[in-house]
Structure 1
Amino acid sequence: MTAAAQHRPAVAPLVEGRKTTAEQALVVAFMVVPLLALAAAVPLAWGWGLTWLDVVLAVFFYYLTGLGVTVGFHRHFTHSSFKAKRPLRIALAVIGSTAFQGGVIGWVADHRRHHAFSDKEGDPHSPWLFGTGPAAMIRGFWHSHMGWILGRDRTNARRFAPDLLADRDIVAVDRLFLPLTLASLLVPALIGGLVSLSWWGALTALFWAGLVRVAVLHHVTWSINSICHMFGDRPFAARDRSANVWWLAVLSFGESWHNLHHADPTCARHGVRRGQVDISARIIWIFERLGWAHSVRWPTTRRLERLTR
């Protein structure tokens, strides 16, 4: 071994530690309970159990918590697509934490690892790890969509998110994940009860704007990992199988323009072509106009030309 090799720093492992039994039980509960609510949604909506107040609250909290993930967890914390002033940075961490997708540090570590090894060994949720045959594709879809979440290994945050571990504000928000998760359910219920002046209004708001909203947001988010790495258009040169899926664009706040994102991960706008709706990019634009965000990495014609196949 050469002297240079002896002094070269060792590469930190991809994973560090394993989830405890209690943590794993919470993961399963966060996945299964909203899913059961989603399964019960159709019969409950058939003539009773759904009011216009429930619809308004569900849509509002879906977009609020979803944008907390896409604008906050994803474009800001993971990829530094823009810089945010401290109050906005903390707010984005808090709101993203209410989406039932884990704490901000773990979420960012997983996603940075995904980009580092996209669709290769080491990627925590690629659908292409098991082969290309029909059975392998079914297994890959399950794994990339939700199966990977059930794994016990914990992505090494010291390797993939050291900047967040060094940020006392973000560490504090990360530690509040469980209370923020509970608030994500209780606040819609409280509003529903106060507006309707009834316990029944609180209960239906908890069901629709809490559990059903979480389930729909879960599956839209997970579809970016699964569907958007299996099917769709690939107009930009990326190192992996990421693709654009137009029919998910509005529900995913622009995240399903996934091919451009993997071709240029730090770009603040994913839907860069005419007609490609990107709600997250519009929110970032508003933050910039208000002076709350700066150093936004908007796409340029030259950058896009270099990425076009």
Structure 2
Amino acid sequence: MTSNSMQTVTAGGQPLVLNWVNVVFFGSIHLLALLAPWFFSWSALGAAIFLHWLLGSIGICLGYHRLLTHRSFQVPKPLEYIIATIGALALQGGPIFWVSGHRQHHLYTEDADKDPYAASRGFWWSHMLWLLYPRAEFFKRETYQKYAPDLARDPYYRWLDSNFLLLQIPLGLLLFALGGWSFVIYGSILRAVILWHSTWSINSATHMTGYRSFEVEDGSRNLWWAALLTYGEGWHNNHHAHPNVAKAGWKWWEVDVTWWAIQVLKTLGLAKKVVMPPQSSASAN
């Protein structure tokens, strides 16, 4: 045990260590978000909403998730780099880290030891405690990168994985130039907190409650409010049944904003080899 950690034990008997650097980091951002009422302006709120969509839907959902993790469609490499950089601005880790963790989630869904955010460990573990008790196999690049060798071979993705935190500096300076501290608090701090919990709800809530369109071996569910918060990712049972399909919402009323963006790219000729739902499953829905 070190001076900045506290030790406990997992269900499998392996030690877990509370990482105080992570606790202070996430705790500080949450505390700073409480300043929002004193810095309110409608334009700052608009900036936060816009960046929640841009960094969340385009960067994380479309970029990190459907494009890089599952390769459910292809775009030209320069555009792929731009989208991945937008994802890195979301403050959810570098692309190799994010992609490798999600691929392990699909390979070992709800396995208490092999799924980084296994819902079998309970709501709060899958929601955020996995970040506060980081396990080396999920957080050390030399270990996790083997699950994303396609990205690990790319020099730009290696750089982005190491330097994603530095991208917050130009983002913060841009927001300050546009609207002062209110834009920084809303567009960077409050946006990050809301986007974190939006994304984390897919790891936690959609493995706890909702409906199932497909009988799969895990506990994934379709959850409408999580889908609204995450631009379509909340149709999680659909996704676990067919993870490489670019479309998450299959029924007409399953709103999937990220899929709309993919359709725009396809119409413009920028998205190729878009993986669609199997005809038999799509017609059943």
Q: Cα–Cα, structure 1 residues 203 and 40, in superposed 2: closer, same or farther, change >3 Å? A: closer
Is 2:148 the counterpart of 1:161?
yes
Residues of 2 paired with 1:296 and 1:81: CA distance?
6
| Paired amino acid for 1:284 | I
User: 5 Å matches for 1:66-85?
Assistant: 66-67=56-57, 68-85=59-76
- The alpha-carbon deviation at position 25 of structure 1 amounts to 5.8
Name the amino acid aligned to 1:56: G
Q: Which runs of 5+ in 1 are unaligned?
A: 1-20, 130-139, 193-201
Kindly provide the amino acid, as one letter, of the partner of residue 116 in structure 1: L
Equivalent pair of 1:38/1:216 in contact (CA under 8 Å): no
Asked if residue 220 in structure 1 is aligned to residue 198 in structure 2, the reply is: yes
Q: In 2, distance between residues paired with 1:187 and 1:229?
A: 37
Q: What is residue 246 of structure 1 aligned with on the other side?
A: 224
Does 2:111 correspond to 1:124? no
* Candidates 115, 127, 137, aligned match of 1:145: 127
Please give the alpha-carbon distance, in whole angstroms, between the structure 1 residues aligned to 2:22 and 2:29: 12
Contact 1:118/1:240 (<8 A) preserved = yes
For 1:55, the equivalent position in structure 2 comes to 45
SS in 2 for 1:176: helix
Q: Where do 1:270-285 residues align within 5 Å?
A: 270-285=248-263
Return closer, same or farther for 1:175/1:51 CA change in 2, 3 Å cut-off: same
Residue ranges of structure 2 left out of the alignment (5+ in a row)? 1-17
Q: For the Cα contact (< 8 Å) 1:72–1:92, is it kept in 2?
A: yes
**Conservation of the 8 A alpha-carbon contact between 1:33 and 1:211:** no
Aligned partner of residue 29 in structure 2, secondary structure: helix
* Cα drift, residue 126 of structure 1: 1.5
Partners of 2:21 and 2:189 in 1: how far apart? 15
Which entry has the higher C-alpha Rg, 1 or 2? 1
Query: For residues 105 and 186 of structure 2, what CA distance do their matches in structure 1 show?
Result: 32
One-letter code aligned to 1:141: F
* Distance in 2 of aligned mates of 1:105 and 1:25: 23
> Within 1, Cα distance between the matches of 2:94 and 2:84?
9
> Sequence identity of aligned pairs in percent?
37
- Map 1:196-211 onto structure 2 (within 5 A): 202-211=180-189
Partner AA of 1:31 in structure 2: F
1:106 corresponds in structure 2 to: 97
Residue 26 (structure 2) aligns with: 31
Tell me how far apart the structure 2 counterparts of residues 112 and 184 of structure 1 sit (CA, whole Å): 29
Q: Corresponding residue for 2:14?
A: none
Whether 1:115 and 2:106 are equivalent positions in the alignment is: yes
1:91 counterpart = 2:74: no
2:97 touches 2:145 (CA, 8 Å); kept in 1?
Answer: no
- 2:166 matched to 1:179? yes
Residue deviations 1:177-223, cap 9 Å, x none? Answer: 1221333333222211xxxxxxxxx1111111110010000001001
How many residues align structurally?
A: 262
Counterpart residue number, 2:275: 297
Task: Indicate conservation of the 8 Å contact 1:93/1:104, yes or no.
Answer: yes
Runs of 4+ in 1 over 4 A off after TM superposition: none
RMSD of aligned residue pairs (Cα, Å) = 2.0
Q: Is the 8 A contact 1:75 1:82 kept in 2?
A: yes
Contact 2:91/2:165 (CA < 8 Å) preserved in 1?
A: no
Q: Is the 8 A contact 1:185 1:211 kept in 2?
A: no
Task: Tell me if structure 1 keeps the 8 A contact 2:119–2:125.
Answer: yes
The structural deviation recorded for 1:56 is 1.4
Give the partner amino acid of 1:263.
A
